[in-house]
Structure 1
Amino acid sequence: MSQDNALHGRWAVATFFFVNGFMVGSWAPQIPLLVSRFALSESVLGLLILVVGLGAVAAMPVCGYFMSRFGSRVVMRVAGPLCAVSLLAVAAAPDMAVLVAALAAFGALLGGMDVTMNANAVAVERRLARAIMSSSHGFWSLGGFAGAGIGGVLAQQWGHLFHAGAVTAVALLLVLAAVPKLIVERRAPTAPAGGLLSGFPRHPLAYLTGVVALFCMVPEGAVLDWAALYLRQEMGANLATASLAFTFFSGTMALMRFLGDGLRNRLGAVATMRLSGTVAATGLLGAGLAPSPLVATLAFAFAGLGIANMVPIAFSAAGNQPGISSAAGMSVATTIGYSGLLLAPSLVGFVADRTGFAVIFIGLSGLLALVVMMAGLVRPADTIAAQPAE
C-alpha cells in the first residue's frame, strides 16, 4: 500500500473515532428526554445506563474474535453504519421492552465500533511507522463535544426524534464516506481454533496491559463524573463555577491528545507514559488538596494534560503485543478497561459518601503513580516501526 493510501486510511479511522464520540455525545441530550417520556426514576435510569455499558463490554471480545477471522476493516464496515442508526432506534422505542433492547444494541455497537477502530488505528500506525493513536482519540473528544453541544439545541427545539434523525444522517454520511478509505490488514486474518473463547491470548502481558488501561481510565472517569460535584458540595462553588472543572479538564485533555503523537514519537511510549502519569498524578493530588475552587479547577486542567495520552498509549501497546494479534490484544485491553470503568462510578460514590471527594482524588493520584511505576508494560507501543505492517 502506498504512503498516500496509508494517509487516507489514517483520516478514515479518525473519522470513525469522531463518529463514535459524536454518537456518545449525542446520547447525553437524549437521557433527560427518556426520563420524561417513560417517567423514569433515578434508579431505573441508572439501570438503563448500565444496560448500555454492559452491551458495550459484551460486544468487545466478540468483535475481537471476528476481527481475528476477517480483519478490522470488515467488522468496521458492519459496526459503523449500524452504530450510526442505533440512536434512532433508542429514540423511536415505543415501550420499555423495546427500549431495553435498543439500549443494549446501542451499547454493543458503540463498543464494537470502539474496539475495531482502535485495532485499525494500530494497523495504520504500523503502515506509517509512527504514532497516530493519541490524535485519533482527540477526534473522539471532538466528536463528543460536537454531539453534546449541537444535540442539546436540536433536541430542545425540535424534539427527540428529529434530533436522533439528524444525528443518524450526519453519522451515516461520515461513516459511508470513510469506509472505502479504511486500510486492509496485509496479513490474512486466521480464525482461532476452538471458537470464541480460544481467541483470548494466554500470555499474561496482554492482561497486565489491560490493567494499565483500566488504571488510566478510572481517574479520567472519576473527574468527568464527580469533579463538578466535588467543587459544588465540598468547596461551596456555584453551579457555573463547578462546571468549569469538567470544561477545563476536557479542553486540556482534547488539546493534549492532538499534541500527544508528536510527543510520543519524540520521547517514546514508555517515557511519555511516565511523564503523563506524573503530570496527571500531580494534578489530581493538587485538586484533592486545593484550598479553593479556582485552584482545584486549575489542578484538574493540569491533570487533563497528563491523562490525555495515557489510554491511547495503553491501547497502542495492547495492539502491538509480541506474538499476539492486534485484534486479540485490543479486545482484552478494552474489555478489562471498560468493565472496570462500569463499576468505578458506583464505587467512587460509595467511598465518597464516607470520606468525601478530596480523599478520592488524592487516592486516584496514587493510582496514577502506580501507572508510572508500571510504565514499562507499554514498551510494545515503542515497537511500531519494527512490527510487520498489517
Structure 2
Amino acid sequence: MTDARLRHGRTSLAISFFVQGVVFALLVTRIPAVQDRYGISDGLLPAFLAAVPILAGIGSIGTERLVKRVRPGPVLRWAQPVVCLALLAVGVGDGLGQVAVALAVFGLAVGALDASMNMLGVSLQRAYGRSIMLGFHAAYSLGGIMGASLAWAGAHWGLSLIVLYGPLMAVLAPAALAASRWYADQREPRSQVAAGSPPTPGLRFLLPLCLVMAFVYIGDSTVANWSAKYLQDVLGSSEQLSTLPYNVYMATTLLGRAVGDLGVRRFGPVGVVRTGAVIAAGGFGVVVLAPGAWVGIAGFTVLGLGLCVIVPQTFAAAGRHGFERFGPEGSDAAVARLNIFNYVGFLVGSPLVGALGAAWSLRGAMLVPLLLVLVTVPYARAFDPAPRPIPCRHERPRTTDVGRGSNGL
C-alpha cells in the first residue's frame, strides 16, 4: 500500500471508531429513557441489557467466518450504518416487540462492527510497523465523551429519543459510510492468496489475552455501573458529585490513549501493559481505601489512566500472534475470537460486583476488579512481539517489530 493510502485508511478508520463511540454512548447513557418509553419493568430490563452483548458475541463469531470470504472493510462499511439505524429504531418504536428487535439488530451488528473495526486497525498497524492502535481507541473514547455529553444535553432539555437520535444519525451514518471508501488493509484478494487457506487459530495461544480482555472489561463495567453509587452510598457524596467519577475516568482514558502509542514505541507493549495494570490496581486500591468522595474520585481518575492502554494492546497482540502463525486470516480470526471476551467481561462485571456488594459490602466488592487487574501483570508476557518467521510472502518483514520502537512510516 502507498503512504497516501495508509494515511487515508488511518483517518477513515479513526472516524469509524469515533462514530461508534458516539453511538454506543448515546444508547447506554439513555437506558432510563428507553425503559420509560417502552414501559420495561425493572425485572425485565436486565434481560434486555444482557441480550445486547450476547448477540454481539454471536455477531463477532459470524464475522470471523464472513471475513474468510470478504475483507473486513466491506463488513465494517455496512455494519456501521446498520448500528446507526438500529439505534434510531430504538428511539422511534412504540412496543416491546419493536425495541426487542431493534436491540437485537444493534447487538448483532455491533459485534460485527467491533470485530471488523479492530481487524482493520491491527492490519494498518502491521503496515505502519509501529503502534497506532491506541490512537484508534482514543478516537472511540472521544466519541464516547461527546455522545455522553449529547445525551446529558438531551436529558437536560427533555428531548425525546427520536429528537435526540434522529439528527445525529442523519449526520453520523452518512459520514461513516462516506469515510468507508478509504478503508485499507493488507490482505490480498483471495484469488492472489496461495491455494489452500491457512488454518484459523485455536484458542490455546489466545487464552492469556482472552483472560486479560475479560478482566479489564470487568473493571471497566464496574466503573461504568457502580462508581456513582459507590461515591454516593459508601463515600457519602451528593447526587451531583456522584456523576463525576465516570466523567473523569473517561477523560483520563482519552488522555492515556492519546499518548499511549508513544509509550508503546518507547517501552514496548509488555512494559506498557504491565505498568497500566499496576496503575489500574493502584487506582482501585485508592477507591477501596478512600475516606471521602474526593479521594475516591482521585482513585477513579488514576484507574482510567491504567486501564485505557490494555485493551488496544490486547487486540494488537492477538492480531500479531495470529498473523505470525497463520497469516492475515489468522490475524482476523484471532481478533474476532478475542472480541467475544470484551462482552464476557461486560456481562460478568456489573452483576458480580453488585451481588458481592449486596452480600458483603460495595467497598469490599471493589477488591474483586482490583485483584483481577493485578492478575493481568504476569500475563503481560503474552504481549511480547518476539519476531517469528512470516508465513505470508507478500507481507513486509518489518511488521513483526510492532511495539519495539520501529520507525515505520
Q: TM-score, normalised by structure 1?
A: 0.92
In 1, the alpha carbon distance for the partners of 2:89 and 2:261 equals 36
Q: Residue type of the partner of 2:343?
A: Y
The aligned residue for residue 261 of structure 2 is 261
Q: What's the offset of the Cα at 1:296?
A: 1.4
The aligned residue for residue 175 of structure 2 is 174
The aligned residue for residue 217 of structure 1 is 217
User: Percent identical across equivalent pairs?
Assistant: 27
Of the three residues 351, 356, 365, the one matched with 1:360 is: 365
In 1, the alpha carbon distance for the partners of 2:186 and 2:114 equals 18
Deviates more, 1:201-210 or 1:17-26: 201-210
Deviations along 1:194-248, whole A, 9 cap, x unmatched?
x9xx986225112321111112221121112111211111111111222222122
In 2, the alpha carbon distance for the partners of 1:233 and 1:189 equals 57
Q: What's the offset of the Cα at 1:94?
A: 3.1
The aligned residue for residue 376 of structure 1 is 381
| Equivalences for residues 26-45 of structure 1 within 5 A | 26-28=26-28, 30-45=30-45
**2:145–2:250 Cα contact (<8 Å) kept:** no
**Do the aligned partners of residues 229 and 151 (structure 1) sit closer, same or farther apart at CA in structure 2, a change above 3 Å counting?**
closer
| Equivalences for residues 122-271 of structure 1 within 5 A | 122-154=122-154, 156-189=157-190, 201-271=201-271
**Do the aligned partners of residues 203 and 54 (structure 1) sit closer, same or farther apart at CA in structure 2, a change above 3 Å counting?**
closer
In 2, the alpha carbon distance for the partners of 1:75 and 1:371 equals 32
The aligned residue for residue 406 of structure 2 is none
In 2, the alpha carbon distance for the partners of 1:4 and 1:82 equals 29
By percentage of residues, which structure has more helix? 1
**Do the aligned partners of residues 199 and 93 (structure 1) sit closer, same or farther apart at CA in structure 2, a change above 3 Å counting?**
farther
**2:63–2:112 Cα contact (<8 Å) kept:** yes
Deviations along 1:299-322, whole A, 9 cap, x unmatched?
111111111101111111111113
| Equivalences for residues 71-86 of structure 1 within 5 A | 71-86=71-86
The aligned residue for residue 399 of structure 2 is 386
**Do the aligned partners of residues 266 and 159 (structure 1) sit closer, same or farther apart at CA in structure 2, a change above 3 Å counting?**
same
The aligned residue for residue 350 of structure 1 is 355
Q: Residue type of the partner of 1:185?
A: Q
Deviates more, 1:261-270 or 1:107-116: 107-116
In 1, the alpha carbon distance for the partners of 2:118 and 2:234 equals 38
Look up the SS of the partner of 1:282 in the other structure.
Answer: helix
Of the three residues 322, 325, 348, the one matched with 1:323 is: 325
In 1, the alpha carbon distance for the partners of 2:345 and 2:180 equals 31
In 2, the alpha carbon distance for the partners of 1:127 and 1:256 equals 23
Ranges in structure 2 where 5+ consecutive residues have no aligned partner: 389-396, 403-409
Deviations along 1:89-147, whole A, 9 cap, x unmatched?
22222321222111110111122111110110001101111111112111111111112
**Do the aligned partners of residues 89 and 235 (structure 1) sit closer, same or farther apart at CA in structure 2, a change above 3 Å counting?**
same
**1:199–1:328 Cα contact (<8 Å) kept:** no
In 1, the alpha carbon distance for the partners of 2:226 and 2:204 equals 33
**Do the aligned partners of residues 26 and 381 (structure 1) sit closer, same or farther apart at CA in structure 2, a change above 3 Å counting?**
farther
Q: What's the offset of the Cα at 1:30?
A: 4.0
**2:53–2:346 Cα contact (<8 Å) kept:** no
In 1, the alpha carbon distance for the partners of 2:374 and 2:398 equals 29
In 1, the alpha carbon distance for the partners of 2:257 and 2:387 equals 18
In 2, the alpha carbon distance for the partners of 1:365 and 1:121 equals 29
Q: What's the offset of the Cα at 1:280?
A: 0.8
**1:213–1:314 Cα contact (<8 Å) kept:** yes
In 2, the alpha carbon distance for the partners of 1:110 and 1:295 equals 36
User: How many residues were matched structurally?
Assistant: 386
Deviations along 1:53-92, whole A, 9 cap, x unmatched?
2221110111121123212112112212222222112222
In 1, the alpha carbon distance for the partners of 2:363 and 2:159 equals 41
Deviates more, 1:31-40 or 1:101-110: 31-40
In 2, the alpha carbon distance for the partners of 1:259 and 1:382 equals 25
Q: Residue type of the partner of 1:234?
A: V
Ranges in structure 1 where 5+ consecutive residues have no aligned partner: none
Q: Residue type of the partner of 2:162?
A: L
In 1, the alpha carbon distance for the partners of 2:287 and 2:32 equals 30
Q: TM-score, normalised by structure 2?
A: 0.88
Q: What's the offset of the Cα at 1:158?
A: 4.4
**1:119–1:326 Cα contact (<8 Å) kept:** yes
Q: What's the offset of the Cα at 1:363?
A: 2.9
In 1, the alpha carbon distance for the partners of 2:337 and 2:199 equals 10
In 2, the alpha carbon distance for the partners of 1:385 and 1:106 equals 38
In 1, the alpha carbon distance for the partners of 2:203 and 2:340 equals 16
Deviates more, 1:96-105 or 1:145-154: 145-154
Q: What's the offset of the Cα at 1:185?
A: 2.8
Deviations along 1:11-70, whole A, 9 cap, x unmatched?
111111111111111113542332222222112122211222222111011112112321
**1:26–1:151 Cα contact (<8 Å) kept:** yes
**1:63–1:331 Cα contact (<8 Å) kept:** yes
The aligned residue for residue 116 of structure 1 is 116
Of the three residues 333, 336, 341, the one matched with 2:341 is: 336
Q: Residue type of the partner of 2:48?
A: L
**2:277–2:377 Cα contact (<8 Å) kept:** yes
**1:319–1:327 Cα contact (<8 Å) kept:** yes
**Do the aligned partners of residues 34 and 69 (structure 1) sit closer, same or farther apart at CA in structure 2, a change above 3 Å counting?**
same
Q: Residue type of the partner of 1:274?
A: R
**Do the aligned partners of residues 353 and 300 (structure 1) sit closer, same or farther apart at CA in structure 2, a change above 3 Å counting?**
same
| Equivalences for residues 17-32 of structure 1 within 5 A | 17-28=17-28, 30-32=30-32
The aligned residue for residue 288 of structure 2 is 288
**1:51–1:100 Cα contact (<8 Å) kept:** no
The aligned residue for residue 94 of structure 1 is 94
